[in-house]
Structure 1
Amino acid sequence: MLVFQDDGGGMDPEGVRQCMSLGFSTKKSKTTIGQYGNGFKTSTMRLGADAIVFTRAIRGSNVTLSVGLLSYTFLRRTMKDDIVVPVLDFQIQDDHIVPLVYGSQGDWDSSLKIILDWSPFSSMEELLQQFKDIESHGTKVVIYDLWMNDDGLLELDFDDDDEDILLRDQAKATAGTTKIQKEIIEQHISHRLRFSLRAYTSILYLKKYANFQIILRGKVVEHINIAHDLKFKKMFTYKPQVALDSQVSQ
């Protein structure tokens, strides 16, 4: 399993359905990341066959908990013609977690059965247990049935570095270089970000924010401004070339 968790605002029942629906996006700008509404689906499915989402949100006086399952294994083995994404909702009433039924009770029960049959959790109690460490609000994404490479090994390497997650086929990046060149290349962030999740997340944000941090395998990711870490710098002076004929390209 691979677990991603945050303590953000979480998603209400409508939000989690939008997140797990193919092609849905509230981002209208053509230059905005996420405009096609498939980022969550394609990214989780690239890492593993199945993903289950736990999210808790506070909207006004309403506290809701939702569980959603996106399972390639379920769709393939049951030969579904349509993409079925079961979602369960709960709400807090008098400090108790109670089911929140939007459609029919039959639909709610059917979603529960699918999730219990095709997720790592075998009871509703086990599902609700996953909210214990989310606290008042936030989201947890559990990706399981991770993909293997051609050698039958996990594509992701969890063993070589206890504080990192690596792409297993990392050695190919320096093939054909001398030993000295290889040492120089491997020490630089521009090489490590190709296969190291810690290196990649360290340069993900240009600015360092006081109220935000990424924790990977129990250790905080140190922020790196990649613009300050350029190893081989060159400066080129641009000289515009005027066309020989009377027509100048714009």
Structure 2
Amino acid sequence: MLINRKDVSRMLLIEDNGGGMDPDKLRQCMSLGYSVKGKLANTIGQYGNGFKTSTMRLGADVIVFSRSCGKDSKSVTQSVGLLSYTFLRSTGKEDIVVPILDYERKEREWNKILRSSADDWGRNMDTIINWSPYSSEAELLEQFNLIENHGTRIIIYNLWEDDQGQLELDFGSDQHDIQIRGVNRDEKNIQMAKQYPNSRHFLTYRHSLRSYVSILYLRLPPNFRIILRGKDVEHHDVVNDMMMTEEVTYRPQSGADGLPKDINVIIG
């Protein structure tokens, strides 16, 4: 969680130290409906709207910083892009405008990448400064220093509020968790989770990000960590929760010899 310097509101930070995105990849990421997986059925990322819809579900605006070393580890670039519902609504834009700025490193200096003209660069810079949590180019560049060699920082701000004026995301109930208020929060299940800690993931994953992320992956790759609010998420294999077993006799059609064959299947 971060604090917006302009209005002292809370912001949500998601960051990684992966390979980052080069200028073209960032544009693809922030373009509605673009997907390199469009022809692949039954796969995540097929329609190219996941990043946009998920961030906009949490807050009105998102700014993305990404640094990439390129395929050859020599073409080092960094880019910042803004997708702002507040900007589009306040300015009455009929088309979705996503200002993006790119830099490339030559020796030890970061130089601007002008994809069209210096005027376009200036307009993009003005838009990002006016509608983002940052007030100058220097403040934008500070965010890249936090990425180090490569990776991505996603900052979601102007987080949505409920009908009572409270943030939909609950940062206060657990200092190492982010939870959801409202219908997904079942107080009965929360109390049961305290009474039956071995079942807490099943009882709380609908409102607790820590519980949800802990069971998100069946297996974690080596050296892969998920850190939530300064504390590692402990991976939980849901297979271990299957403590009750039941043996069912499956009776298929007759075999080639005309005799029925029983197959015992163990579930759980």
Provide the TM-score with structure 2 as the length reference.
0.83
The answer to whether the 8 A contact 2:82-2:98 is kept is yes
Give the match for residue 151 of structure 2. 138
The answer to whether the 8 A contact 1:186-1:192 is kept is no
Q: Which amino acid counterpart does residue 22 of structure 1 have in structure 2?
A: L
Q: Offset of 1:30 from its aligned partner?
A: 1.1
Give the match for residue 112 of structure 1. 125
- 1:73-131 CA distance string (max 9 Å, x none): 00011110000000000111221112111111111111101000000000000000001
Cα separation, partners in 2 of 1:86 and 1:238, compared to 1, 3 Å: farther
Give the match for residue 86 of structure 1. 99
Greater than 6 Å deviation, 4+ residue runs? 179-182
Q: Which amino acid counterpart does residue 34 of structure 1 have in structure 2?
A: G
Distance in 1 (CA, whole Å) between partners of 2:152 and 2:193 is 43
The reply to whether residue 50 of structure 1 matches residue 61 of structure 2 is yes
Gaps of 5+ in 2: 1-10, 254-268
Which runs of structure 2 are paired with 1:33-72 in the superposition (5 Å)? 33-59=44-70, 60=72, 61-72=74-85
The answer to whether the 8 A contact 2:184-2:207 is kept is no
Deviates more, 1:73-82 or 1:188-197: 188-197
Distance in 2 (CA, whole Å) between partners of 1:238 and 1:123 is 68
Give the match for residue 21 of structure 1. 31
The reply to whether residue 74 of structure 1 matches residue 84 of structure 2 is no
Distance in 1 (CA, whole Å) between partners of 2:134 and 2:243 is 48
Aligned length: 240
The answer to whether the 8 A contact 2:35-2:45 is kept is yes
The reply to whether residue 218 of structure 1 matches residue 230 of structure 2 is yes
Which runs of structure 2 are paired with 1:174-213 in the superposition (5 Å)? 183-184=195-196, 187-213=199-225
Distance in 2 (CA, whole Å) between partners of 1:184 and 1:63 is 50
Distance in 2 (CA, whole Å) between partners of 1:204 and 1:234 is 26
Q: Which amino acid counterpart does residue 203 of structure 1 have in structure 2?
A: I
Provide the TM-score with structure 1 as the length reference.
0.88
The answer to whether the 8 A contact 1:203-1:223 is kept is yes
Q: Secondary structure at the match of 1:125?
A: helix
- 1:150-197 CA distance string (max 9 Å, x none): 11101111111111111123675255x8x7799449952111111111
Fraction of identical pairs, as percent: 52
Cα separation, partners in 2 of 1:152 and 1:46, compared to 1, 3 Å: same
Deviates more, 1:98-107 or 1:180-189: 180-189
Cα separation, partners in 2 of 1:35 and 1:180, compared to 1, 3 Å: closer
Q: Which amino acid counterpart does residue 45 of structure 1 have in structure 2?
A: M
Give the match for residue 258 of structure 2. none
The answer to whether the 8 A contact 1:155-1:167 is kept is yes
Gaps of 5+ in 1: 242-250
Give the match for residue 6 of structure 2. none
Q: Secondary structure at the match of 2:76?
A: strand
